[in-house]
Amino acid sequence: MPERLFDLHTLHTFTPFTPLRGGVSRPGLAMRVEQILDAPKTFVLVFDTGEEATGGLLAFAKTERLTAAHFTAIGAFQDCKLGYFNWQTKQYEAIHVPEQVEVLSLVGNVAEQDGQPKLHAHVVVGKWDGTAHGGHLLEARVRPTLEVVLTESPKHLVRRFDPETGLALIRPAEK
């Protein structure tokens, strides 16, 4: 059984990360950032060894005041924690992968919840023997790189608490 570390209220509360190296192109952020397109606003974020991916993405979203965006990424982690949502308990169960893995696919979005940007990301990682693990990305320490392409969405997205699931889910604007 996976180790339970996160409840729904603390899932996206990240402590500040401590980067080991990397250029700074935004105040307080260590990953290298380049805006590559104006409309829609699109960025490339490059994380280096030792940087924490989820905390860095969230810090970037806050710095850029993003309320709606989506992203994809490839790279590698030296260790990571994935989450599996247990429908019966309405809790995320943490799955620790304490080894070097390739990021085969990382997709996610940014939406506003309680006036703050929140991440929702899923990842599939591959081990040395070709096996894969996947789930909600809770934490990840990069090694040697993580290359993220993030595009701001033209409309504001908001997460609202859903009592049936116990989750904050994106709800499209009602007409």
Quick one: pLDDT band at residue 174, thresholds 50, 70, 90? low
Q: Mean pLDDT over residues 90-95, rounded?
A: 93
Quick one: pLDDT band at residue 40, thresholds 50, 70, 90? confident
pLDDT one-digit tens code per residue, 120-161: 999 999 999 999 999 999 999 999 999 999 999 877 667 777
Terminus-to-terminus CA distance in the chain, angstroms? Answer: 43
- Indicate the domain borders of the chain: 3-152
Tokens matching residue 91: 């809790």
Per-state percent for the chain, helix, strand, coil, to nearest 5: 5, 55, 35
Q: Can you give the pTM of this predicted structure? A: 0.76
Q: What pLDDT sits at residue 168?
A: 76
| Domain 3-152 annotated CATH 3.40.50.1000 | no
What does the alpha-carbon distance between residue 154 and residue 11 come to, in Å, rounded to a whole number?
A: 26
Q: Mean pLDDT over residues 11-35, rounded?
A: 48
According to DSSP, the β-strands at 3-6 and 91-97 are antiparallel
Quick one: pLDDT band at residue 115, thresholds 50, 70, 90? confident
pLDDT one-digit tens code per residue, 60-70: 999 999 988 99
